[in-house]
Amino acid sequence: TAATVAAGMFTATQAVAAEACDPGEVVIKFSHVVSATGHPKGDFATALAERINNEMNGKACMQVFPSSQLFDDDKVMEALLLGDVQIAAPSLAKFEAYTLKYRVFDLPFLFSDMDAVNKFTQGEKGQELLGAMSDIGFVGLGYVYNGIKHFSANKPLVTPADAAGLKFRVQTSDVAVAMIEAMEANAQKLAFKEVYGALQTGVVDGQENTWSNIYTKKFFEVQDGITETSHQLLSYLAVTSQEWLDSLDPEVRDQFITIFTEVTNDANARSSAINEANKQKIIESGVEVRTLTPEQRQQWVDVMKPVWGKFADDIGQDVIDAAVAANN
């Protein structure tokens, strides 16, 4: 029941910092940058740890480190290779140092909704992309969804012309930089944990993110409002190292993968509802959420969509075509 799930999640959340592993258990450290609760990735990590710690007790033990308390997304990949953590789930926008193929997920106005995203990730090309970093020793375990992103700024944004000349924080993604520059605005790459301070002090004027990131990290408190541009996906790749996976007993590895897959499917089915709940909380706070008419939205599309052409060679036209086809 919902009550049981809620109670269980509460227990796991409490245990996040304190989870002590027993001697002989495989220790699985999962480092991420978002809030521990009320967020698609935070809730995913909590649910995964809870199931592993219950069902694999004596064999394996998961410790979750949320809110950038252990590593930023740029450091966590090195930490995976060094064996300092075993699981990470950075945004697909943040893998440019390792593969350019994931740029497909960052193309503005590519997916019409999360069903299309699901169709693409579960299809042939999406599944192939899980292995795009195998030459470096990384294994993509699966896609964990957040949702669709929207723009916010310290002044009202209705058309892209309103954004001209402003400075926007972006993830470490050249697609995002190109998208912002197409709006005749300036892009600044910053780590997630620096965004609130940068907005508050005026280092940047605006940002783009999902409802869950905007609410749980309080960005809405230091912005004029949020404009429902729905311009781009934010999804994560849950990633580990081949070396670590190979080091596990086959039985432990199989059980881990089975639990991982079940928890991922469950989390992905709930991600849109979690974002919607965060949107409602922002609206209730009194901060303005602006919706666009179809004509206004088309202006954003017209300005940003041409950046696709710059990245088609990196991604591969076959991959782009498969993603576009997922909208049908």
Give the binding site for ligand LMR (CB under 6 A).
Answer: 33-34, 41, 91, 146, 171, 192, 209, 213, 234
Q: What's the burial of 69, exposed, middle or buried (CB within 10 Å: 0-12/13-18/19+)?
A: middle
For 127, the token pair is 């599944």
Closest CA to 208 of 238, 163, 165, 271: 163
Which residue, 52 or 144, is less far from ligand LMR as judged by CB? Answer: 144
**Are the CB atoms for 109 and 231 separated by under 8 Å?**
yes
CA distance 234 to 40: 11
C-alpha distances in Å from residue 108, one per residue of 36, 86, 150, 307: 28, 31, 11, 8
CA distance 324 to 328: 8
**Are the CB atoms for 258 and 156 separated by under 8 Å?**
no
* Nearest residue relative to ligand LMR (C-beta): 91
Which residue, 30 or 60, is less far from ligand LMR as judged by CB? Answer: 30
Provide, rounded to whole angstroms, the least separation between the CB of residue 229 and ligand LMR: 15
Provide, rounded to whole angstroms, the least separation between the CB of residue 271 and ligand LMR: 11
Provide, rounded to whole angstroms, the least separation between the CB of residue 308 and ligand LMR: 21
Provide, rounded to whole angstroms, the least separation between the CB of residue 55 and ligand LMR: 26
**Are the CB atoms for 91 and 32 separated by under 8 Å?**
no
Which residue, 41 or 101, is less far from ligand LMR as judged by CB? Answer: 41
For residue 150, count other CB atoms closer than 10 A to its CB: 22
Which residue, 60 or 213, is less far from ligand LMR as judged by CB? Answer: 213
- Torsion angle, alpha carbons of 233, 189, 219, 229, to 10: -40
Which residue, 56 or 175, is less far from ligand LMR as judged by CB? Answer: 175
Which residue, 56 or 70, is less far from ligand LMR as judged by CB? Answer: 70
Provide, rounded to whole angstroms, the least separation between the CB of residue 192 and ligand LMR: 4
Provide, rounded to whole angstroms, the least separation between the CB of residue 153 and ligand LMR: 15
